[in-house]
Chain A
Amino acid sequence: MGNKFYTPDGFNDQFPGICGVKRELESKLRNLFLLNGYEEIETPGVEYFDVYKEFVKEEELYKFTDSKGSLLCNRYDGTIPTVRFCAGRNYTLPVRFSYIENMYRSGKAGGGKLSGFTQGGIELLGASGAKSDAEVLAIAIKSALEIGITDLQVSIGQVKFFKGLMNQLGIDEEGQSKIKNAIANRDSVTIEKLDISKEDKETLLMLTEAGGTYDTIDQIMPRITDEGAKEALSNLKEILDIMERYGFLKYVSVDLSLIESIDYYTGMVFKGYTYEVGFPIISGGRYDDVAKSFGKDIQAVGFSLSLTLAITALMRQDKFVPSKCASVIVGGDFELATATAEALRAEGTPAILDTTGMDEETLENYAKEKGIETVMYMGGEA
């Protein structure tokens, strides 16, 4: 029988009960995005490889060819296709787009991290500055809260801060990538061994400390002379100010070690965490240079939330109630049963109509097994 019954590694079926909840969460996200003026778009899910090749490692894309031999790949994320969509058209900027789609990433999967998963996200294109950054961050936090992730911690960092700091310390490119890795891994061991002054080491070690909010910025600010790095810190400060107005400061902390993974970020970046899943459920940031790959200059910021990981988290946090379809099953005399089921449906009660002619006992047993609350057996027997 081969692989007939199985899904490929990293891909899951969505079971009834879970799928229902997922759709509900999707609608909640969709409403939230629309409420904030982010219009939904749908990209095809298949892109030319060229769209992604500058941004994603080749081995992480699912690739195939079309009938003309062009190299194609599956949608890897929401951002790049949205930028492609926007860059190819003459929209008056800024423009706000949202999406809820399945993403496909080849390579390491596991721990709730799948190769095929659903993300919801937004992109604010053609807008720069802390106010735009903060809008996206605020919607990211609202999204998590909206779908029931209330134990939420969001770390915000700044890519420009690291670049400026490296400039200030006069570290060459090779040294930079070593330090970048060390800081992203909070590897104080490697930093201690670096051949730089004690004071510079202290500054780098401050980056690896888990962050506070304003205090983290105030602590490191006096050590910074590079203008770019200073600007980056003021950008974070302004974002914090806006978060305070939203009442979201309690969810946010500054983490200057957040410089890893995706290289296309150019400004503030953030990741959102919750209990019981080992990976961030939210990821976002400013990516002013991505549109350049499509020949346009569009400053942009966005985020995505992994619904798949969020559902795993909700389940493990005992906050997940499986969805149920019908609460009534109607059987017995088919004509009467049909009319009754239709009447129930008309008033909005989900009703199953027995089309197999079960007798009363069989129908009751069936309902019990399926968890259907009410059995209505129509006439006939008297």
Chain B
Amino acid sequence: MLTIALPKGRLADQTLDIMEKAGYDVSAARDKSRKLILEDKDAGLRFILSKPSDVPTYVEYGAADIGVVGKDTLLEEGRQLYEVLDLGLGKCRMCVAGPAELKDKLDEIPNKRVGTKYPNITRSYFEGVKGESVEIIKLNGSVELAPLTGLAEVIVDIVESGRTLYENGLDVLETVADISARLVVNRVSMKMKEDEIKPMITKLKETLAEE
């Protein structure tokens, strides 16, 4: 029996589509009830639906063997996991964004204040990559408000189409990382349930290559 942690929402459905194409019976997980654990004993699969940012936690502790999680969450949480497959879903970029006039002038602002939902990614980008200290202001949503209200000069956030940014007079200033959904595996499960997990990775890989 494999336990798979899926992030509630669209990404879960898209992942199930890929699994179905790869020949897995995922009908149990299509259950639209409010159940959080969906089990199919015959298929040997159990799905748990969790908040996206909690998926790596379930997998790291071994409460789930496998998980699907955005690279943004992986970078932010920095957990001890095997990251085995790029599912190519939910593609977007982690960016530094701010007023359009700051383009190419980002490095000129000293002691920047950066608003973000991702304090760890922000710190490792500014300290590790750019080699500068910044003041990080942790926000929980509508991060674009920060530069508009003067709370921060710039933000670090996920950018998909960039529409919210443009409509508010903001622009992408620098790209921190490319983001997409990854298949992650608990390090112990990879060893103890190798017979179930390795074929699954191979099948999913083949399915993705066909697309």
Contacts and interface: CB of A to CB of B under 8 A. Distances in A.
Interface in A275-309: 275-280
A210 B198 contact: yes
B182 A111 contact: no
B62 A276 contact: yes
Interface string A249-281: 000010100000000000000000111111110
B85 A278 contact: no
A365 interface: no
Interface residues on A, range: 20 to 34
Interface in A168-226: 185-189, 208, 210
B192 A280 contact: no
Nearest to B185: A186
6 contacts: A187-B83, A253-B191, A276-B62, A278-B186, A278-B187, A280-B187
Contacts of A189: 83, 85-86, 182
A278 B190 contact: no
Given A110-B61, A186-B84, A274 B194 contact: no
Contact of A278 (B63, B84, B194): B63
A274 B62 contact: no
A280 B188 contact: yes
A111 B186 CA distance: 12
B61 A278 contact: yes
A111 B61 contact: yes
- Ranked 4 nearest A-B pairs via Cβ: A278-B62, A111-B61, A186-B82, A189-B86
Interface string A218-239: 0000000000000000000000
Which of B85, B86, B191 neighbours the largest number of chain A CB atoms within 10 Å of its CB? B191
Nearest to A261: B80
Nearest to B183: A189
A234 B84 CA distance: 28
A13 B36 CA distance: 32
A273 B186 CA distance: 12
B60 interface: yes
B82 A279 contact: no
Main secondary structure of the interface of B (DSSP, over half): mixed
Contacts of B173: none
B81 interface: yes
Interface string B62-106: 110000000000000000011111100000000000000000000
Contacts, number: 58
Given A210-B191, A210-B194, A273-B191, 14 more contacts: A153-B191, A186-B83, A187-B82, A188-B84, A189-B83, A189-B86, A208-B84, A253-B191, A273-B187, A273-B188, A277-B62, A277-B188, A278-B61, A278-B186
A158 interface: no
A280 B188 CA distance: 7
A155 interface: yes
A155 B85 CA distance: 22
B58 to A, nearest CB: 9
A280 B187 CA distance: 8
Interface in A84-139: 110-112
B64 to A, nearest CB: 9
Nearest to B87: A189
A151 B86 CA distance: 31
A278 B188 contact: yes
Nearest to A182: B83
A189 B190 CA distance: 17
Nearest to B186: A278
A155 B191 contact: yes
Contacts of B61: 110-112, 278
A273 B185 CA distance: 15
Interface in B185-211: 185-192, 194, 198
Contacts of B60: 111, 278
Nearest to B86: A189
Contacts of A280: 187-188
B16 to A, nearest CB: 21
Nearest to A185: B83
A188 B87 CA distance: 12
Interface string A296-331: 000000000000000000000000000000000000
A155 B82 CA distance: 15
A111 B62 contact: yes
A370 to B, nearest CB: 34
A137 B43 CA distance: 37
A253 B194 CA distance: 12
A253 B83 CA distance: 20
Interface in B168-190: 182, 185-190
Contacts of A186: 82-84, 185, 190
A253 B190 CA distance: 12
A284 to B, nearest CB: 16
B187 to A, nearest CB: 8
Nearest to B189: A278
A110 B61 CA distance: 8
A273 B192 contact: yes
A295 to B, nearest CB: 34
Nearest to A255: B191
A155 B84 CA distance: 18
A278 B182 CA distance: 19
A149 B65 CA distance: 20
A267 B173 CA distance: 45
